[in-house]
Amino acid sequence: MTGPAVVLFDLDDTLFAHQRSVRLGVSAHRRASGGALAAADEVEEFARWHALEEHHYTRYLRGELDFLAQRRSRARDFVAPYDLDLTDDDAADRWFDDYLAEYERSWSLHDDALPCLDALEAAGTRLGIITNGDIDFQTGKIERVELAPRIEHVIASGELGYAKPDPRIFEHACAVFGVAPSDAVYVGDRLNTDAIGAAEAGLRGVWLDRSGAATADELASAAASGVLVINSLEELPVALG
Ligand SMILES: [Mg+2]
Across the chain, the runs of DSSP E, i.e. the strands, are: 6-9, 126-131, 153-156, 184-188, 204-208, 228-230
Residues whose beta carbons lie less than 5 angstroms from ion ligand 1:
10, 12-13, 189
CATH code, domain with 179: 3.40.50.1000
For residues 13 and 52, membership in a common domain is answered with no
What's the pLDDT at 1? 54
* C-alpha of residue 16 to centroid of ligand 1, in Å: 8
Q: Based on the fold, state whether residues 144 and 226 are members of the same structural domain.
A: yes
Kindly give the distance from the C-alpha atom of residue 22 to the centroid of ligand 1, in angstroms, as a whole number: 13
pLDDT in tens, 110-126: 999 999 999 999 999 99
Residues 6+ apart with CB under 8 A from 122: none
Q: What is the CA(17)–ligand 1 centre distance, in A? A: 9
Whether residue 77 is found in the same domain as residue 155: no
Q: Separation of 39 CA from ligand 1 center, angstroms?
A: 30
| Beta-bridge mates of residue 129 | 9, 154
Centre of ligand 1 to C-alpha 152, Å, is 19
| Same domain assignment for residues 100 and 114 | no
Determine the distance separating the centroid of ligand 1 and the alpha carbon of 75, expressed in angstroms: 21
Task: Write the pLDDT tens digit of every residue in 140-181.
Answer: 999 999 899 999 999 999 999 999 999 999 999 999 999 999
Global pTM value: 0.91
Condensed to tens digits (0 to 9), the pLDDT of residues 179-231 reads 999 999 999 999 999 999 999 999 999 999 999 999 999 999 999 999 999 99
pLDDT band at 3 (very low <50, low <70, confident <90, very high): confident
* Per-residue pLDDT tens digits for 132-148: 999 999 999 999 998 99
CATH classification at residue 31: 1.10.150
Mean pLDDT, rounded, for 85-103: 96
Same-domain status, 92 and 141: no
In terms of residue numbers, what domain contains 26? 18-105
Q: Rounded to whole angstroms, how far apart are CA atoms 69 and 224?
A: 38
- Specify the number of domains making up the chain: 2
| One domain for residues 228 and 120 | yes
In angstroms, what is the span from residue 79 Cα to ligand 1's centroid? 26
Domain end residue (candidates: 86, 105, 124): 105
Tell me if 52 is assigned to some domain: yes
User: From the CA of 137, how far away is ligand 1's center (Å)?
Assistant: 15
Do residues 10 and 129 both lie within one domain?
A: yes
Same domain, 100 and 112: no
